[in-house]
Amino acid sequence: MTTPLMPKATAVWLIDNTALTFDQIALFCGLHPLEVKGIANGDVAQGIKGMDPISSGQLTRSEIERCQEDPTTELQIADSKRDIPVGKPRKTTKYTPLSKRQERPDAIAWLVRNHAELRDSEISKLVGTTKPTIQSIRDRSHWNISNITPTDPVTLGLCTQIELDEIVAKAAIREERRLAKLAKEQGNTGEVLKDATETTAIGATPDAGLITSGSTDLGDAPAPAGTASEAEEDAAEPRNLDDLRPEDVFGN
């Protein structure tokens, strides 16, 4: 149930100006009945000035009269005339208690060993650690690597089983998509993609069948047949109109 603004000030006003029961006021304001009783006795909320919920539009006079007639009913807050935008939750870093921080390397080692498909960012979000710490455990350069024992983070209390299952499920879907894309690329080329260490290895030599620059001299290529005869025919033909004779044009 939605509680009114300034619940204690509202409770002070309802106690002073209405005949509502302590239970009704406590339920409406989100307080404990004993706390409302303490406000009525002056032991709690001393110096707090009452706030009228009717003038602020949180209650109506008819609603108060209805509940005064029947002590078993509950006060219903009035609908707001304005739409109040809901604030977006801010992203915060997961807090890990001091007593659990010494156990984070054990959880990281367990995740790295049993769920290698998880990214460093996902592990960091799950157990509340940093990427350098995860990387040092991956390459076994952590300062306390000899004393790290892989342990389930759920058992250590660093996360819940639901959180772990959600992240593992997302990572599994991402891995399936990657494998499907790789298989599709291999199917299009008809070849198996080589590992990066093979294609970028130092000292790798090109295939013998490849043509290298300077292997052939294009200038030594033989001229096509018939080139000399065509040149002789062109030389035999007259080039100027003044040299033409009637026999050349009309024949004998």
Does the pLDDT value for residue 236 go beyond 80?
no
Runs of H (alpha helix) within the chain: 7-17, 22-29, 33-41, 61-69, 98-101, 104-114, 120-127, 131-138, 153-156, 161-189, 196-199, 227-236, 246-250
Look at residue 134 and tell me if it is in a domain: yes
Q: Which of 151, 91, 147 is nearest to 127 (CA)?
A: 151
Residues 117 and 48 in one domain: no
Whether 117 is in a domain gets the answer yes
Residues 174 and 118 in one domain: yes
Q: Which of 178, 206, 234 is the last residue of a domain?
A: 178
Q: What percent of the chain has pLDDT over 70?
A: 68
- When mean pLDDT is compared across 43-47, 177-181, 201-205, the lowest value belongs to 201-205
Containing structural domain, residue 158: 98-178
Q: What average pLDDT score do residues 18-40 get?
A: 90
Domain boundary among 162, 178, 194: 178
Confidence class for position 244, pLDDT limits 50, 70, 90: low
Q: Does residue 64 sit in the same domain as residue 113?
A: no
Report the number of distinct structural domains present in the chain: 2
The confidence band for 141, taking pLDDT boundaries of 50, 70 and 90, is: very high
Given 118, 152, 178, which residue is the final one in a domain? 178
Same domain, 126 and 173: yes
Q: Is residue 127 part of a domain?
A: yes
Decide if 129 is inside a domain.
yes
